[in-house]
Chain A
């Protein structure tokens, strides 16, 4: 009887403590900014490496929320992020034009590759992505698309357009509506072709019977842009810390850090900031 009351009191206290702790977590953390970025960048493992260097240089914690490009920009529009790093130039420029981003800086690029079954049933092996897509569509060999409004998906659709196909349709074209990793999982499972960023591909371990078939086409160039979310639209944005991070990214130190990231000895991302190119 007595112990009932003591137990109840103890439980109540602990629940309260847990809630307070959970809710106070934001206030107790070190100085941090929220970076909205893409799953492909996250899954390549770049952030683990890059943000460690950023933390060492700036004493700043960068919290990455990795979602598709479309969602990342949407998040930023709602004010749920301080900085955005994505790879869809038209969407980024629109973002700035709408007033949600302060300024766009080109930071780095990696490239896309077309992966597919080792046997290459559509005969696409080579250096031309547009020809490859034409052949896949003609032969109607299964193709796994992300279909998730991401930078990769946007690029994929641009290539289809170059191949003369406005929007691929048919049972062979499978939209997974998911990130790069899950899409590659699906492609491996279906022995299908897919467009992937090299970073995710290099760290992807469930390749099944897939291998790189098309690479080196200059059109497969995948440009990343970084933007500070406009504090004029969202006054709570951590503009000082955010700008510090952006400045570091485009600084020689940041650019060197990007270049230093390797998987199996291969460099994934190529820093390409130069003052003349960005700022639109």
Chain B
């Protein structure tokens, strides 16, 4: 209890004090997680929608795999990406290892299955309602993908947020491919891990509180947006 109260106080002090190191860590976390979430959505949303609306051979297998990938152990992804980006690996000459770019790559790989699976779920349910009408209008399944995504933009915003949350909470893979380098690839989650392992629990907790606050406010924003949209669009 003492720890938590102390951490809250510390968290407030850190935020109010505008500690530049803290803010650069927060800024980096937001940057890489946002980039990963956007990339994952750009790839995952259409993928999920396509699987939802189109029949093709092997579709069922793909759906099973997509759902299975949800349980992808993140450290495994981290390890694989590390081996790919390592100098000894195929993409080593790009020099991306231990840079924010590597973090974005690893996080995107982790988030795509989540976004695709959720997108597929939403679009599949809605497709039951839309299919006949759109087909009647001459809309092919392929053409229907952007239409469905745009029409379901509000529920899909929740999906995007879930993707962001997943990206922002990743530790293991980020450690491995980022190297947790101070000032370069040290993000909130890896800092929390580091401070915890140093036994500096109050600081770690304080950072955790800040991270939580960010995620909670984003979700609150999305909630408000949904309410407004329902009123507007019906």
Contacts and interface: CB of A to CB of B under 8 A. Distances in A.
Given A22-B100, A48-B182, A181 B199 contact: yes
A185 B196 CA distance: 9
B68 to A, nearest CB: 27
A11 B99 CA distance: 23
Nearest to A44: B198
B92 A19 contact: no
Nearest to A188: B199
Given A15-B39, A63-B184, A79-B86, A22 B197 contact: no
Chain A, interface SS category: helix
B150 A65 contact: no
B53 to A, nearest CB: 19
Interface in A4-62: 4, 11-12, 14-15, 18-19, 22-26, 29, 34, 39, 43, 47-48
A182 interface: yes
B182 A64 contact: yes
A182 B86 CA distance: 27
Interface string B169-207: 000000000011110100000000010111111000000
Contact of B96 (A11, A26, A64, A234): A26
B164 interface: no
A28 to B, nearest CB: 10
Nearest to B95: A26
A186 to B, nearest CB: 11
Interface residues of A, number: 42
Interface stretch (B28-36, B59-67, B112-120): B28-36
A11 B38 contact: yes
B101 A22 contact: yes
Contact of B200 (A18, A39, A205): A205
B183 to A, nearest CB: 8
Nearest to A45: B198
A43 B34 contact: no
Interface string B91-110: 01111111111011000000
B88 interface: yes
Contacts of B98: 34, 63, 65, 80
Contact of A22 (B88, B99, B180, B201): B99
A178 B184 contact: no
Contacts of A179: 197
Contacts of A22: 31-32, 35, 99-101, 103-104
B104 A19 contact: yes
A179 B193 CA distance: 11
B38 A15 contact: yes
A141 interface: no
Interface residues of B, number: 36
Given A15-B39, A22-B99, A63-B184, A205 B88 contact: no
Contacts of B212: none
Contact of A204 (B35, B97, B198): B198
A182 B99 contact: no
B22 to A, nearest CB: 15
Contacts of A218: none
Contact of A205 (B93, B94, B99, B198): B198
A146 to B, nearest CB: 12
B54 interface: no
**Max count, chain B CB within 10 A of own CB: residue among A4, A12, A18:** A18
A191 to B, nearest CB: 15
Contacts of A77: 88
B35 A18 contact: yes
Interface in A61-110: 63-66, 77-80
Nearest to A17: B35
20 contacts: A11-B38, A15-B38, A18-B38, A19-B39, A19-B101, A26-B101, A63-B98, A63-B179, A64-B181, A78-B87, A80-B86, A80-B88, A80-B98, A179-B197, A182-B196, A185-B196, A185-B197, A185-B199, A204-B198, A206-B200
Given A18-B38, A23-B101, A47-B182, 14 more contacts: A15-B42, A18-B34, A18-B35, A18-B39, A22-B32, A22-B99, A25-B101, A26-B99, A64-B181, A79-B87, A80-B86, A207-B199, A234-B87, A236-B87
